[in-house]
Each structure stands twice: as C-alpha cells, then as structure tokens.
Chains A and B, each alone.
Chain A
Amino acid sequence: MDSEFALVDLLYKMADDQLILGHRNSEWTGIGPLLEEDIAFSSMAQDKLGHSLALYQLLHELGEADPDTLAFMRNANQFHCCHLVELPIGDYAFSLMRHFLFDNAELLRFEALTQSTYEPLAKVAVKLKSELKYHVLHANTLIRQLGTATPESTERLQKALEEAWPYALGIFEESIYEEQIISSKLFIGEVKLKQDWLAKIETILGQTNLKVPIPNTLTPALGGRMGQHTPYLQALLNEMTEVYNIDPNAEW
C-alpha cells in the first residue's frame, strides 16, 4: 500500500511541475525576444503540457480524478510542484536559466525513470525523454551562446543564475516516501538525481563565462513538494481556471 502512496506522490510532483512550467513558458507566446525564441518556448510549453497530461493520466489509472479535474480543480496547497516553476517569467534571462536548470534535471529524471519498476511510468518516460532531449539541446545551446556573447548577456545570465539557484535546489526536495521509492526501484531518488544534475550543469556552465554559485552558500527553497507554495502559484491557478470555473460542468 505504501509503495502506491509513494508512486502517487512521485507522479503528482512531476505532473504538477510540468503543468505549471508549461503554463509559465506559454506566457512567452507573442512576446519573445525574437520570433524563433517565441516559437521555441511555445513549442516546449506544448510538450510540457502534454507531459503533464500523460502523467495525470497515469494517476487517473491509479484511481485519482481525471486530468482536467486534477489540473483545473485543485487549490495551490494541493499542488506538489517545486517553487522554481511557479515564479513569474521575469526577464528572458530568468526564463532561459530556469529552463536550463529545470530541463537538465528533468531529462536526467526521465532517463532514470525508463528503468522504473512501475512499467507504465517507464513506458511514458521513454517517450518523454525523446522530447526532453530537444528541450535540453535548446537550453544548453543558448546558455553557451549567451553566456559567452556580450558583457550584458553574461551579466544578465549570471544574475538569473544566482536568483534561480536556490529554487533549482528545491527541485530535489525529498519525498516522505523516499526510502520506499528507492528500495522498490521506482526511481533512483532525489539525492542521486541532484548529484548527476550538478555534474551536468557544472560542465555546461564551465564552457561559459558564468560562475556556478558555491554550494551551501544559498539555502534551497523547499516546501513545494509538501504543498507549501509561493503566492505566485495561487495567482497562476486563478488565471488558469478563470474560464473553466464559469461552469465546470459545461463542455468547453
């Protein structure tokens, strides 16, 4: 029974991350710094929404409500996303940095999940991984380019890196089921994921003029996985559900 709680908890946090970041990235549609970025962010936003849908679908198969209800009918304190994805899009440098830090973690997460003992999740992970590869390619390419281009671009990215870093550490907030998750081989666990991620991030940033914040000097933003959020999340949900809530029983 416990392992099912562990699985549900794991699925919720991943699905919620994708939904909320997909929503945030879609806010760039129409206002990107150049058309190509506008299109790229919109495209990745679509993928993320699709990923969250696939994960909510797995939850539905486990007896949870249907994806529309899960996405559109919960309050902020019922969400398990990390704080990083909730934050407003800010300057493009922040959105790019968030995308870089998050998507590198996400790709590693889904690569690991292809080995999950929960077969439906392993199958979904194979599909998602193949799309995430392109998200990471996009992020790494732009971080490399803008992180070495002009003094202004480097400075903006450095500022964004320092701003996003404590929140990025919150991606790896451990679940109360962490031991079961690892022992039942559902997933490698957050500690291992964070190690792999740090190595990856440091390699890419090492190819730029950007400096990785010294670990342990910044406190991770935690609580998201337990339902404690920044005020930005409820505001986002209010906007997202504005039309849906006019008549939740209607077909839209």
Chain B
Amino acid sequence: MYGGGSIFEVKPGDTILNEDPIILAAFEARIARGEKIEPMDWMPALYRKQLIRMIEQHAHSEIIGALPEGAWITRAPGYKRKMAQLAKVQDEVGHAQLLYSAAETLGKTREEMMNDLLSGKSKYSNVFNYPTPTWADSTVISWLIDAGAIVNQLANAKGSYGPYCRALERICVEESFHLKYGHDAVVHLATGTPKQRQMIQEALNRWWKPIMMFFGPPDKISVHTEILMKWKLKMATNDECRQQFLDMYVPKLWEIGLTLPDPKLSKNETGTWEYTEPDWEEFKQVINGNGPCNAERLAVRRTAEEKGAWVRQALLRPEARYVQPLA
C-alpha cells in the first residue's frame, strides 16, 4: 500500500565524496539514459545505502499497514467484504515479501531489516500509527491510502533500480484492485443508511490529516531531494504527489456527498490546490515514536516475531544462507 519517499530523508553525514569521479560519472550517465541498475552493477555506496533504507521502509510499511486493516478481516460485514478484505491484506503482506527480497539484493538480510524495525531504528509510514476504530476507517484506508500509494509508486516504478521497479510494477497492479475495492466499500457507506453515512464521514474526518501528511513534508522543508531525484531514487516531489492525489480524489469525495474537514481546500486559478498545511510538528512527533499507535503496532509485530522464532529456527537451512552481492 505505502510507497516510497514520504519518510525518506538523507542524513547530513551521507555524501558521495569518496567515489571515483570517472566511475561515478559513468554510473550517472547510465541513469540519465534511463537504464536500470541491477544488483551486480557498480553503484555509489550512498545510492545503495539510501535504496536499502527506502525499500526497507516501504516493506515495513506493508507489514505494519496490514495490522490496522487486518483487525477488520474477522469483522468485515458480509461475505463479499470479508473475502475481499482478507485478500487485500494478504496482498499487502505479499508486497512486503517482494520488497524485502528486492532490498536483500542490495546486501541486507530480511532478519536484519526486521530487527531494525523492531528496535525503532528504521521507520515505516506514519499513517499506520493512527487507529482504525470503525469498519469505515478501514474502508477509507483501502481507498485513499492505497490511492496515495499508487500515486507514489507509479512514479517510483520508473526509477533507476531494476529489482525495486519490477516489484513496484507488480505491486501497482494489485493496488489498483484494492483501490476498486476501497472505492466500492466507501461508496456503499456514503450512499447507505444515515448510520452508515455518519460512520464514513467521521472516519474521513479522522483520516484526512494523516492522508495529507502521507506524502511527506512540503518540498520547501526537504533539503535532500536533489541528488535523490538525479539518481532517480525519488521520481516526484512530495508536493507534486500531494497535488496529484488531491486532483484525482477530492472531486470523487465531493461527488459522493462527503465533506472534507479543511475549509481552505479549493483549487486556485493556476490549477493548484490550496489547503491548510498539516501540523508538521505532529508529523515529526509521530514518526519518532510518539503517535497514538506506535507502541501498539511495534508490540504486535514484536510478539509475532518472538512467537514465530521457533518456526524460523526450525526451517533454517544452512545451504540457503544469504550470499553478499559482488558489486
């Protein structure tokens, strides 16, 4: 569901100063020509490091994202929703599997990534730190968070690293089903009984702020975008993604009779959406572990890891150990 750059940032100490300028220039020329970089190819250490971080965070978002929605599989109303919700969340876990594999091609094992998730060292999408108190919340996620993710992932699928792009392409195909499912589920509530309409409006009110934050801080705050764009690690800025999302979904939301909790939200004469800037201080607080559900999400994941340790231990085959890439 989640895609890419919203929580991705370069640390101030990360530089490319130690790379051989000739090899680096050849690498950058390949990227400029639109070629894909493959696992055995040479790549700058910073490129590898940032890619691992980016793909890993994406993978973590998929498995953590499965938790707030997974909680509604057993309670989904009726056969159609129950089967679809289950299929959808299963897809998200499948995406995590694909993404961890893509990140492993860069030299970090799934186990190491999982440990970094559980220790809080690596992050996941901020939106999954908010609660889903009703069925309607899960439908809003299925539609709008997946919609946001598609905006992001379609852009990044045109990026420079082959295994990540191929994973994203497949993920986007599945996400487009989720989008249809989420849209259908939201429309049923929005055009349903008064109780259902109230339920979906309240859920949308709760989720609008996290959705607006989903694409990450405004470009003017982000100072590391340039090299990431040059290396095609990031294919669109946060603001570009946010604008595209608003363009596509605000009219749809209005059309089904829902309102959005931002009086400023409107399109100006240049075709740009105006909106109330989300509270970026809250964003920072939540991403750093102080959101309403951070502790709960990680605790569930940690329990699953601990309880399943004996299975992984028993299935371990020495001949299947990971081999470091040559590049």
Q: Is the Cβ of A37 less than 8 Å from the Cβ of B96?
A: no
* Smallest beta-carbon distance B70→chain A, Å: 4
> Does B195 lie at the interface of the complex (its beta carbon under 8 Å from any beta carbon of A)?
yes
Interface assignment of A214: CB less than 8 Å from any CB of chain B: no
**Cβ of B192: which chain A residues have Cβ within 8 Å of it?**
250-252
Q: B93, B307, B314: which contacts A42 (Cβ < 8 A)?
A: B93
Selected interface stretch from B81-89, B153-161, B207-215: B81-89
Contacts of B311 in A (CB 8 A): 33-34, 37, 92, 146, 153
Question: In whole Å, how far is B111's beta carbon from the nearest beta carbon of chain A?
Answer: 10
On chain A, the residues within 8 Å of B73 by CB distance are 26-27, 29
Contact B78 A146 (CB under 8 A): no
Which of A33, A37, A46 is close to B87, meaning CB atoms less than 8 Å apart?
Answer: A46
**CB within 8 A of A30: which of B89, B193, B313?**
B89
* Cβ-neighbour of B86 out of A49, A72, A92, A146 (below 8 A): A49
Bound: A34/B114 CA distance, A: 11
Within 8 A of B (CB), among A136-169: 145-146, 149-150, 152-153, 156
The answer to whether A92 and B79 have CB atoms under 8 Å apart is: no
Tell me, in angstroms, the Cα distance from A156 to B313 when the chains sit together: 13
Q: Mark A105-144, 1 if CB is under 8 A from B, else 0.
A: 0000000000000000000000000000000000000000
Cβ–Cβ contact B86 & A252, under 8 A = no
Q: Determine the distance from Cα of A187 to Cα of B312 in the docked complex, in whole angstroms.
A: 41
- Per DSSP, chain B at the interface is helix
A26-B73, A38-B93, A46-B86 given; A153·B63 CB < 8 A: no
Residues of B within 8 A of A91 (CB): 307
Asked if B75 is at the interface of the complex by the 8 Å CB criterion, the answer is yes
Interface residues in B71-123 by Cβ distance below 8 A to A read: 72-83, 86-87, 89-90, 93-94, 96-97, 100
In this assembly, does A8 line the interface, its C-beta being within 8 Å of a C-beta of chain B? no
* A39 touching B313, Cβ below 8 Å: no
The 0/1 profile, CB within 8 Å of B marked 1, for residues 83-110 of chain A is: 0000000011000000000000000000
Question: Measured between C-beta atoms, what is the minimum distance from B37 to chain A in Å?
Answer: 26
Q: Is B254 an interface residue (CB 8 A)?
A: no
Most chain B Cβ neighbours within 10 Å, of A67, A92, A146, A251 = A251
A82 vs B230: C-alpha distance in the bound complex, in angstroms?
61
CB within 8 A of B78: which of A239, A242, A244? Answer: A244
Report A179 CB to chain B, min CB distance, Å: 34
A223 at the interface (CB under 8 A from B): no
Tell yes or no: B303 within 8 A of A by CB: yes
Contact of A251 among B63, B96, B188, B312 (CB under 8 A): B188
**Contact between B315 and A149, CB atoms less than 8 A apart:** yes
- Within A13-72, the residues touching B (CB, 8 Å) are 23, 26-27, 29-39, 42-43, 45-46, 49-50, 53, 67-68, 71-72
Output the residue of A35, A68, A236 with the most chain B CB within 10 A: A35
Which A residue's beta carbon lies closest to that of B76? A243
Q: Are B308 and A92 in contact (CB under 8 A)?
A: yes
**Residues from chain B with Cβ under 8 Å of A246 in the complex:** 77, 195
User: What residues of chain A lie closer than 8 Å to B93, measured between beta carbons?
Assistant: 29-30, 32, 35, 38-39, 42
Residues of B within 8 A of A149 (CB): 314-315
A204 within 8 A of B: no
A32-B304 contact given A146-B314, A247-B195, A250-B193, CB 8 Å threshold: yes
Q: How far is the CA of A250 from the CA of B199 in the complex (A)?
A: 13
B253 within 8 Å of A (CB atoms): no
Let me know if B8 is at the binding interface, CB within 8 A: no
Tell me if B310 and A156 are in contact (CB < 8 A): yes
**Residues of chain A lying within 8 A (CB to CB) of residue B307:** 31, 33, 91-92
Chain A CB within 10 A, most for which of B86, B94, B96, B307: B86
Nearest-CB distance from A190 to chain B (Å)? 28
Query: Would you call A247 and B79 a contact (CB within 8 A)?
Result: no
* A152 CB contacts on chain B under 8 angstroms: 310, 313-314
**Other-chain residue from B70, B96, B188 in contact with A35 (beta carbon distance below 8 A):** B96
Q: Are B196 and A33 in contact (CB under 8 A)?
A: no
The answer to whether B312 and A29 have CB atoms under 8 Å apart is no
Q: Is A182 an interface residue (CB 8 A)?
A: no
- How far apart are A243's CB and chain B's nearest CB, in angstroms? 4
8 contacts between A and B (CB under 8 A): A23-B74, A34-B315, A149-B315, A153-B310, A243-B77, A246-B77, A247-B193, A249-B193
Nearest 10 CB-CB pairings of A with B: A33-B308, A149-B314, A33-B311, A42-B90, A252-B77, A153-B314, A30-B70, A31-B304, A244-B77, A30-B66
B interface, CB within 8 angstroms of A: 63, 66-67, 70, 72-83, 86-87, 89-90, 93-94, 96-97, 100, 135, 185, 188-189, 192-193, 195-196, 300, 303-304, 307-315
Not counting A31-B300, A50-B83, a sample of 18 additional A-B residue pairs whose C-beta atoms are within 8 angstroms of each other reads A29-B93, A30-B67, A30-B89, A31-B307, A32-B93, A32-B308, A33-B308, A35-B93, A37-B308, A39-B97, A42-B89, A91-B307, A145-B314, A145-B315, A152-B313, A152-B314, A243-B76, A252-B80
Which residues of A are in contact with B by a Cβ distance under 8 Å?
23, 26-27, 29-39, 42-43, 45-46, 49-50, 53, 67-68, 71-72, 91-92, 145-146, 149-150, 152-153, 156, 236, 239-240, 242-244, 246-247, 249-252
